[in-house]
């Protein structure tokens, strides 16, 4: 079998061996980083570039899908001037193969290129490349649209009953250890007046409670029994609910912060 | 400073003037008797939980804290004055019986419920005293009644009318209701020497600064009352606001201030939590 010397543009890789010789596809030079530089396959074809296949044997250049790449073939050797897919800037190159086929971008998209030697006998003789083709006509994408505000984090009501309700839990054994400012929350007239004026009406008192964390709520309404079963991390703890959303977390540090929290869910 | 208009201030200079009180023309009874440690030895009360150390708030902080409590109207007396759906919770009236020691605990339970925003329930101290004393008009001490309230609770006046000593009140329904009004935690340490029940003034003040009501027994007075607030009677001088059980006509709506040595209780226990209930 006649052996061909196939040289692809600037390729330094061992050229694929096909029946009857080699076919050379454009290859980027090896990256000069020791110890084992490896050539890089050319995978992009821009509008002003030429993708030249230089063959010592005749071959077919097939592209898919059609319409993205224009294929032209010449008998070599020939001299070509232009920008090459595996080069930089404008160059003049001489291709010495018997068939020199040039691929040019005429569309935009991913395109499969198959180089099929006419003497191919097995699938292994076929060379396949995938190219990102860009003919330059792709409209410039508009700038990223402004990011819409994050949707509100779902914060389901910890007490799934219509109306504003508040539960504060603390450890009465630690009451004398609480910081004075935080302790005031439990007894402050400002807080109590707000709760009395904003909380839903219960059977006998407004629906807010301030309890030791260990109380037995079995004598209370079911909604309070349910909220006592909700997970919590430590005390003092506050549960605020307006029936649609709410807050569960550590008790704020002072009356001012507590009032801000209450007003967030209970209104002014 | 600290005192309300019309509020009695009983101190080391005038205490003899108030040792016997006349309210609305009636001489008030008291009823404290010192605990008899022979018949009630240390450890005889099994209902209270284990001892709890009470962190003492330094005296250097008292004045500022009291001012803040007054400014924010966050004292127990403030809560009492609005604890009946915005109206004042009335004072108990022991009505001539020597049951002060049961009323002091019952008043503490009442204000605890108000702190928790539980509906005002007129609790009947007579139920506690009558059962403990087998319906006899006898004195006692605060820890005696707190132990009972921790074990069995105190019923509402719906089940045991105020000032009633009828044995017909003593029935299952009454005590089922009383169980809804138990003290669930207390400061009294029943496992140590009896004198440890006698909290020091600093401990009492620390509890009051933290809005824990205290049952205070005062031997000089022969009386047991509910302690509500810390009070700075003059710069650097401190006392306690009490809630008496002589009705609202005594002092200022039933509340007055003790200071000096007269503010140091000879016995003190403090319930700090009760069962929430809407009944």
Q: Which percentage of chain B shows pLDDT scores above 90?
A: 68
- Domain locations in chain B as residue ranges: 9-34+53-272
Question: Does A224 lie at the interface with B, CB-CB under 8 angstroms?
Answer: yes
Q: What is the pTM of this model?
A: 0.70
Query: pLDDT tens-digit profile of B199-215?
Result: 578 888 998 999 999 99
Domains of chain A: 17-133 (2.60.40), 165-266 (no CATH)
Confidence at A116, pLDDT banded by 50, 70, 90: confident
Query: pLDDT tens-digit profile of A175-212?
Result: 888 999 999 999 999 999 999 999 999 989 999 999 99
pLDDT of residue A88: 85
For B124, other C-beta atoms within 10 Å of its C-beta total 29
Measured distance CA(A80)–CA(B207) in Å, rounded = 97
Gap from A181 CA to chain B (nearest CA, Å): 9
> Most confidently modeled of A18-27, A55-64, A136-145, B6-15?
B6-15
B-chain residue closest to A193, CA distance: B86
Whether the per-residue pLDDT at A5 is higher than 60: the answer is no
Whether the per-residue pLDDT at A250 is higher than 70: the answer is yes
A17-18 and A21-24 as β-strands: parallel, antiparallel, unpaired? antiparallel
Which has the minimum average pLDDT: A112-121, B31-40, B175-184? B31-40
Which has the minimum average pLDDT: A39-43, A231-235, B59-63? A39-43
> Is B211:B115 a contact under the CB 8 Å cutoff?
yes
Residue A27 phi, psi (nearest 5): -135, 140
Residue A188: which of B74, B118, B275 has the nearest Cβ?
B74
- Give the bridge partners for B237, in sequence order: B234
pLDDT of residue B40: 62
Render the burial of B85-101: b for 16+ CB within 10 Å, e for the rest.
Answer: eeeebebbbbbebbbbb
Tell which residue, A60, A135, A62, has the closest CA to residue A99: A60
A-chain residue closest to B81, CA distance: A189
Question: HSE-up of B126 (CA within 13 Å, CB side)?
Answer: 24
- Domain B9-34+53-272 annotated CATH 1.10.3720.10: no
Measured distance CA(B257)–CA(B225) in Å, rounded = 11
Measured distance CA(B226)–CA(B241) in Å, rounded = 9
Give chain B's mean pLDDT.
88
Whether residue A187 and residue B75 make contact (CB cut-off 8 A), yes or no, is yes
Gap from B78 CA to chain A (nearest CA, Å): 8
Whether the per-residue pLDDT at A1 is higher than 50: the answer is no
Question: Does B165 lie at the interface with A, CB-CB under 8 angstroms?
Answer: no
> Is B272:B210 a contact under the CB 8 Å cutoff?
no
pLDDT of residue A121: 81
Average pLDDT estimate for B145-152: 92
Chain A interface mutation, best of B56, B65, B117, B207, highest count of A Cβ atoms under 10 Å: B117
Question: Does A179 lie at the interface with B, CB-CB under 8 angstroms?
Answer: no
Question: Does B63 lie at the interface with A, CB-CB under 8 angstroms?
Answer: no
**E strands along chain A, which residues?**
17-18, 21-24, 27-28, 40-41, 44-45, 49-55, 59-64, 69-75, 78-84, 90-95, 99-105, 109-117, 127-133, 165-170, 208-212, 237-241, 246-250
DSSP 8-state secondary structure symbol assigned to residue B38: T
Measured distance CA(A71)–CA(A111) in Å, rounded = 13
Residue A175: which of B56, B72, B212 has the nearest Cβ?
B212
Measured distance CA(A136)–CA(A255) in Å, rounded = 64
- Residues in chain A closer than 8 A to B212 (CB atoms): 172, 175-176
Tell which residue, A175, A171, A168, has the closest CA to residue A255: A168
Question: Does A171 lie at the interface with B, CB-CB under 8 angstroms?
Answer: no
Which has the minimum average pLDDT: A26-30, A99-103, B18-22, B234-238? A26-30
B-chain residue closest to A254, CA distance: B72
> Most confidently modeled of A63-67, A101-105, B267-271?
A101-105
Measured distance CA(A176)–CA(B241) in Å, rounded = 19
Measured distance CA(B214)–CA(B58) in Å, rounded = 19
Whether residue A183 and residue B210 make contact (CB cut-off 8 A), yes or no, is yes
Whether the per-residue pLDDT at B198 is higher than 50: the answer is no
Give chain A's mean pLDDT.
84
Query: pLDDT tens-digit profile of A10-65?
Result: 333 445 555 566 777 887 777 666 666 667 889 999 988 999 999 998 888 888 88
Which has the minimum average pLDDT: A119-133, B25-39, B155-169, B183-197? B183-197
User: CB pairs below 8 Å between A and B: how many?
Assistant: 107
Gap from B238 CA to chain A (nearest CA, Å): 18
């Amino acid at each position: 079998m006649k052996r061909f010397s196939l040289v692809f543009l600037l390729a330094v890789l061992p050229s694929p061996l096909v029946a009857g010789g080699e076919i050379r596809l454009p290859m980027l030079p090896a990256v000069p980083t020791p110890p084992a530089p490896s050539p890089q396959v050319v995978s992009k074809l821009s509008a002003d570039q030429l993708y030249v296949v230089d063959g010592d044997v005749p071959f077919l250049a097939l592209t898919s899908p059609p319409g993205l790449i224009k294929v032209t073939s010449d008998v070599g050797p020939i001299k070509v001037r232009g920008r090459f897919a595996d080069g930089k800037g404008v160059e003049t190159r001489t291709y010495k193969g018997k068939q020199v086929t040039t691929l040019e971008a005429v569309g935009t998209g991913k395109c499969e290129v198959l180089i099929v030697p006419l003497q191919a006998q097995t699938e292994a003789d076929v060379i396949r490349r995938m190219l990102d083709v860009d003919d330059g006509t792709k409209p410039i994408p508009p700038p990223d649209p402004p990011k819409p505000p994050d949707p509100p984090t779902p914060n389901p009501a910890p007490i799934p009953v219509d109306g504003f309700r508040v539960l504060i839990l603390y450890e009465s054994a630690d009451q004398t250890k609480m910081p004075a400012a935080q302790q005031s929350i439990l007894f402050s007239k400002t807080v109590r007046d707000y709760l009395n004026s904003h909380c839903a009406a219960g059977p006998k008192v407004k629906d807010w409670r301030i309890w030791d964390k260990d109380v037995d709520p079995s004598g209370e309404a079911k909604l309070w029994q349910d909220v006592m079963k909700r997970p919590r991390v430590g005390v003092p703890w506050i549960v605020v609910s307006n029936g649609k959303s709410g807050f569960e977390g550590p008790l704020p540090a002072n009356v001012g912060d507590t009032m801000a929290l209450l007003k967030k869910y209970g209104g002014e | 400073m600290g005192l309300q208009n019309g509020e009695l201030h009983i101190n080391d200079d005038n205490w003899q003037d108030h040792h016997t009180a006349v309210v609305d023309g009636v001489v008030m009874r008291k009823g404290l008797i010192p605990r008899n440690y022979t018949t009630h030895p240390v450890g005889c009360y099994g209902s209270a939980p284990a001892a709890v150390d009470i962190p003492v708030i330094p005296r250097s902080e008292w004045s500022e804290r009291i001012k803040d409590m007054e400014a924010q109207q966050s004292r127990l007396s403030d809560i009492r004055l609005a604890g009946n759906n915005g109206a004042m919770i009335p004072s108990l009236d022991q009505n001539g019986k020597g049951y002060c020691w049961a009323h002091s605990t019952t008043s503490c339970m009442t204000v605890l419920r108000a702190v928790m925003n539980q509906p005002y329930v007129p609790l009947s101290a007579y139920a506690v005293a009558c059962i403990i004393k087998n319906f006899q008009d006898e004195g006692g001490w605060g820890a005696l009644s707190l132990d009972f309230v921790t074990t069995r609770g105190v019923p509402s006046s719906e089940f045991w009318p105020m000032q009633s000593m009828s044995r017909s009140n003593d029935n299952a329904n009454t005590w089922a209701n009383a169980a809804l009004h138990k003290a669930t935690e207390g400061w009294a340490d029943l496992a140590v020497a009896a004198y440890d029940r006698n909290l020091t003034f600093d401990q009492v003040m620390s509890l009051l600064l933290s809005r824990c009501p205290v049952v205070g027994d005062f031997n000089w007075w022969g009386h047991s009352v509910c302690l509500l607030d810390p009070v700075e009677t003059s710069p650097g001088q401190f006392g306690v606001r009490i809630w008496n059980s002589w009705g609202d006509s005594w002092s200022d709506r039933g509340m007055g201030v003790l200071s000096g040595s007269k503010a140091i209780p000879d016995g003190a226990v403090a319930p700090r939590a009760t069962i929430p209930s809407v009944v």
